[in-house]
């Protein structure tokens, strides 16, 4: 995954943009991966690990009503986390993940349910919703891979727009 992280950092630097992460089930794995390459500080600002549901509201401004109604594992929660971390860290892109790593279901959602969101300039949103299989470690690792893959795709598309 460090290859993808380095690629994302170079795309961000080329665009003069920055990013931050909001993580739930991965607990910090995406941020740890993004900071493996040297020089990560040129584009990676940091983020929030909102593992407990109430921290999604208090640290990332996810609406409490949404969390009460849908639980923590929902596409709208991922979107709100991405927008929230973008705002609180004053970054150009926010990347967020929420889901169920297992071994037990959460908020009525089966193990492997994962929602990923990117929030970019102009509050534009991109989504990816997954049903992963395997154990806790595999689900967390694949969530990290898919999240970085989504952000890379967004940045590559934007680069195309900007140079077009």
List interacting residues with its own copies (CB under 8 A): 21, 23, 25-36, 38, 40-41, 44-52, 55, 58-59, 88-90, 101-103, 136-137, 140
Of 29 and 132, the one with the shorter C-beta distance to its own copies is 29
Least distance from C-beta 48 to its own copies, angstroms? 6
Of 89 and 158, the one with the shorter C-beta distance to its own copies is 89
Of 152 and 160, the one with the shorter C-beta distance to its own copies is 152
Rounded distance, CA 121 to CA 149, Å?
Answer: 18
Burial class (CB in 10 A: 0-12, 13-18, 19+), 17: middle
Least distance from C-beta 79 to its own copies, angstroms? 19
């Amino acid at each position: 995954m460090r290859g993808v992280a380095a690629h994302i950092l170079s795309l961000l630097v080329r665009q003069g943009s920055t990013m931050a992460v909001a993580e739930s089930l991965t607990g910090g794995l995406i941020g740890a991966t993004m900071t493996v390459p040297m020089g990560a500080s040129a584009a990676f600002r940091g983020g929030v690990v909102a593992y407990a549901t109430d921290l999604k509201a208090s640290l990332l401004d996810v609406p409490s009503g949404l969390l009460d109604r849908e639980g923590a594992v929902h596409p709208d929660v991922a979107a709100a986390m991405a927008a929230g971390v973008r705002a609180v860290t004053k970054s150009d892109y926010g990347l967020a993940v929420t889901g169920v790593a297992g071994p037990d279901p959460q908020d009525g959602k089966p193990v492997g349910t994962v929602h990923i969101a990117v929030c970019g300039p102009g509050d534009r949103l991109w989504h990816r919703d997954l049903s992963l299989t395997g154990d806790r470690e595999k689900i967390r690792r694949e969530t990290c891979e898919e999240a970085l893959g989504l952000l890379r795709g967004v940045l590559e598309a934007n680069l195309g727009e900007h140079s077009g």
